[in-house]
Amino acid sequence: MSIPNSIAASAEQMKGWRQHLHAHPELAYDCHETAAFIAARLREFGVDEIHEGIATSGIVAIINGQGNGPTIGLRADMDALPIIEQTGVPHASTVTGKMHACGHDGHVTMLLGAAKYLAETRAFTGRVALIFQPAEEGDGGARTMVEEGIMDRFDISRVFGIHNWPNKPLGLMMTNPGPIMASVDTATVTLRGKGGHGAMPHTTVDPVTAMVSLVQALQTIVSRNTSALDQLVVSVTQIHAGSASNVIPGEAWMTATIRSFTPEIRKLAEERFRAIVAGQAASFGVEADIDYDLGYPPTINHADQARFAADVAATLTEVDADVPREMGAEDFSYMLEARPGAYMFLGTGPGAGLHSANYDFKDEIAPLGAAFFARLVEAAQPVREG
């Protein structure tokens, strides 16, 4: 690795920031203390502009380089998870039931490390927009920041983000030239029939029989409506009905998670899901309500930006530029819908997985993430000699 000396020299300071953030986790849009900590560091570094309160507690900060040029966006998420921490580390969460179990404390730290270096050295043209977003874990803070206009307001031309990835080789940076994470949609279906005595089913309209058939029929979305070369998951994850062995209930409900990698397959899955529910309900004489909730879209890298990011990463560490996609989801997808860019995974070696109560971000990896962000800016917007 060839981490810039000043970033390597900040390793202990970065560890201090990261462990402070880890001890003080905040959830969803309520990242006000985290944002105040970030803004205080950015002021110490002497960045040029700090815009707070975007998407409730988000920040966009600007560092000016040398002369005119485009603005590159670098994004870190700030929020924690509603988990009771079990690590037992000295810097463990001081708030019961809140925990940085996805390493967003580390993501903030890596972007702060890059900000400190970039504000000192300014060896780039144009500007850097440092994007600190709340509410990655389900509430779409990235979408809110995009909706509040950050891309146009700060004239951001392209965007990049990193997520740490346990149980991949320490320091390995990974990306690919297309979809890298899935969309996540959630369906809730309620079937309403007519309850009655279990001994006299002909006097009822049985939602249990209808539900069993429906769950079977939904399997054909993947097996009979989707090309074997495309990727789609339709998992029915809950079925609830009934309260006694001799009573046919009046109602049954279920939930499903639907995940895919392209807008086309995502749309097909929703259309088939709705049609199958309607058809099955009609055939059994039950009424059906569907709540089909569109969550995060697929995270789709722009091929040339992914290649550029991989090339920059390769000057620092080992790179896999064609890593297999992940079925998890990420709201950075909204930023990649708004602007070209790419998302990278950063391997952190063996240990507890993301969202585990035993997880802790690996501080030793933070200088590499900071160096990647910094080199990305210098390579994207180089200072021309003479």
Can you give the length of the chain in residues?
Answer: 386
Q: Of 100 and 127, which has the nearer Cβ to Zn ion?
A: 100
CB of 348: closest distance to Zn ion in angstroms? 12
Q: Mask: binding to Zn ion, 217-256, rule CB under 5 A, as x and -?
A: ----------------------------------------
Binding residues with Zn ion: total (CB under 5 A)? 1
Q: How far is the CB of 34 from Zn ion (least distance, A)?
A: 14
Asked if 253 and 242 touch (Cβ cutoff 8 Å), the reply is no
Angle of helix 366-380 versus helix 11-23 axis, rounded to 10: 110
- What lies within 8 Å, CB to CB, of 244 at 6+ separation is 198
For residue 108, the surrounding DSSP H or E stretch is helix 104-121
Closest C-alpha to 342, from 178, 219, 215: 178
Which among 16-24, 100-108, 154-162, 229-237 is the span making contact with Zn ion, rule CB under 5 A?
Answer: 100-108
In angstroms, give the least distance from the CB of 102 to Zn ion: 3
3-state secondary structure of 73: strand
Of 53-61, 102-110, 269-277, 302-310, the window that binds Zn ion (rule: CB under 5 A) is 102-110
Cβ atoms of 7 and 113 within 8 Å: the answer is yes
189 binds Zn ion (CB under 5 A): no
Least separation in angstroms between residue 79's CB and Zn ion is 9
Which of the ranges 46-54, 101-109, 287-295, 297-305 carries the binding residues for Zn ion, by CB under 5 A? 101-109
CB of 171 to Zn ion, least distance (A): 19
Closer residue to Zn ion (CB): 75 or 127: 75
The SS3 assignment for 307 reads helix
Residue nearest Zn ion, CB atom distance: 102
Q: Rule CB under 5 A: say whether 102 interacts with Zn ion.
A: yes
Nearer to Zn ion, 25 or 126 (CB): 25
Residue with tokens 């030239």: 177
Q: Which stretch binds Zn ion (CB under 5 A): 40-48, 94-102, 109-117, 167-175?
A: 94-102
Toward Zn ion, which CB reaches closer, 165 or 284? 165
Using alpha carbons, select from 125, 95, 101, 77 the residue that is nearest to residue 383: 125
3-state secondary structure of 81: strand
Least distance from Zn ion to the Cβ atom of residue 355, Å: 6
What does the block give as tokens for 222? 């993947």
Q: Given the rule CB under 5 A, which of 51-59, 66-74, 97-105, 216-224 is the region that contacts Zn ion?
A: 97-105
Instruction: Identify whether the C-beta of residue 357 lies closer than 8 Å to the C-beta of residue 101.
Output: yes
Shortest spacing between CB 263 and Zn ion, in angstroms = 23
Q: Please tell me the distance from the alpha carbon of residue 94 to that of residue 291, in angstroms, as a whole number.
A: 37
Q: Tokens 């900060």, residue?
A: 61
Nearer to Zn ion, 63 or 102 (CB): 102
Nearer to Zn ion, 102 or 162 (CB): 102
The nearer residue to Zn ion, 102 or 181, going by C-beta atoms, is: 102
Cα–Cα dist 123/103, whole Å: 29
Residue 164 beta carbon to Zn ion: minimum distance, rounded to whole angstroms: 8
Of 102 and 145, nearer to Zn ion (C-beta) is 102
Amino acid at 184: V
> What is the dihedral angle through the alpha carbons of 29, 33, 36, 38, rounded to the nearest 10 degrees?
-80
For the bound state, the minimum distance from the C-beta of residue 103 to Zn ion, rounded and expressed in Å, comes to 6
Give the per-residue contact string, 24-63, with Zn ion (x = CB under 5 A; - = no): ----------------------------------------
**Closest-CA residue to 80 (of 25, 156, 159, 158):** 25
Judged by CB under 5 A, the stretch of 44-52, 95-103, 126-134, 339-347 that binds Zn ion is: 95-103
Applying CB under 5 A, does 146 fall inside the site for Zn ion?
A: no
The 3 state secondary structure assigned to 155-200 is CEEEEEEEEEECCCCCCCEECCCCEEECCCEEEEEEEECECEECCC
Residue 201 · residue 276 · CB < 8 Å: no
Minimum CB separation of residue 368 from Zn ion in Å reads 18
Contacting positions for Zn ion (CB under 5 A) = 102
